[in-house]
Structure 1
Amino acid sequence: MSQRPPSEEDEDEDDTQEGERWFAGGERSGISVENPDRPARSGGLNTVRDILRKAAEGGPPPEPTSGQTSSGAFSGGGNLLGSDELPSQYIPDPTTSHAEVAGDQMETAIREITFWKTGFTIQDGPLMQYDDPANADILRSINSGNAPPSILNVQVGQPVELRVSRRLNEDYVPSPKRFNVFEGQGNRLGSALPVGTAPTASSQQPPGAFPSRGNASEGGQDRSSVTTKFEVDMSAPTTSVQIRLADGTRGFRLVARMNLTHTVGDIRGFINASSPGQSSTPYTINTTFPNRVLDDDSMTIEQAKLQNSVIVQRRL
């Protein structure tokens, strides 16, 4: 996990590293007392100073060099091209472990930690007080470079670039709520509403849900019952799943943002809601490398190892 310095300094660093001292006594004797209410002496601030110091000393990550010479010998995995009858097949590098390959394919996540007067925030998350022992443990983990993935909302083993913002003299101000362009429900253009149906209080869907459709044919009844309503919890780990539809247009792709707890059935429901008639014709959804059929709708994204994957729809 790399750390980058803040874009600007709020004050001289000596003001935050030294506690506020009071002196009391007479001409020949006296004592020096540190103000216990000064924020710089609250729990976790020693770790905060270490993180700020490392960020200032470390600087930005080095730019990749383009002039490096490489060996002429080929190493790594490759793809065995397939055809309409046989799917393509990935041949892994026999000298590289699966964990190393997965780590190389993960893109670096950028996260920002902001240090306020009484606590710290990660991205647009809530304020975490310095004097909370649990939050102090989180700071120590970040300082050691092993922050919990759930705190940074990343996958296990994913590289993280941590950007530090220093606002120790400011009270915490919550970020303004993001404006959602679309809230509510609607109908995709060209889709027909089921005959004799009207929206009722019992059929209302949550904001952002796809509209449900009636059975287009008897053969699609089992798959059309799959729900197309799911919500994404942005405070939990998320991933993107790219879906290639079998509609004759090779360039038409969908990208679904999902939590790792969503299921294969949610992917199927997402496909059914993408355009009219998807659920009327039986189909399978398959991974590409390696090629396998996802026939267990109850399996989660994490269990099926579908993080940042490509899913292909094939008609039966």
Structure 2
Amino acid sequence: VCETESDNQPLSDNQQTNCEYFVDNLFEEAQKVGSKCLSPTEQKKQVDVNIKLWKNGFTVNDDFRSYSDGASQQFLNSIKKGELPSELQGIFDKEEVDVKVEDKKNEVCVSTKPVFQPFSGQGHRLGRVSHIKDFIEKYQGSQRSPPFSLATALPVLRLLDETLTLEEAELQNAVIIQRLQKTAEPLRELVEH
């Protein structure tokens, strides 16, 4: 495995030779198990994953990784076997993934800005209007949460039937607003204490 140097220091001749061997071996092994180098006309227009193998590490869609990291080694071993790494299988579940590996072993990767990932959290499927209300109550905390109703943004329509699916209520791509119901209880509590 190639060793990485901090502060982009040049690698010694021995380290450079090991890195070149590693990158060359990765290409050879991947081709042996059936990976193909396709011409641009043969490639399908699906999800592209660009992997560049540098002197001091590698990038996956411009996200730098060290050769010495355990997860990185598993990732590269999958590529070497001609398999899609499990990390990418989880991200691209139903798409066809075109992995392009580029040999840059004679160049040092200069650190770039971190890749912006707009959402890296976990999504929640909401199938009914009641699921939206349950979701809000769960994250507000049920202890003394003020009563509220749900409405659409424009036109403003109250969502009264919680048994409807989002499709039946025509709420796909709609903005849902939580409207707190007016009560005098918080004021009474303050006056009593």
| TM-score, scaled to structure 2 | 0.49
Larger RCO, structure (CA 8 Å, separation 6 or more): 2
| Higher percent of residues as strand | 1
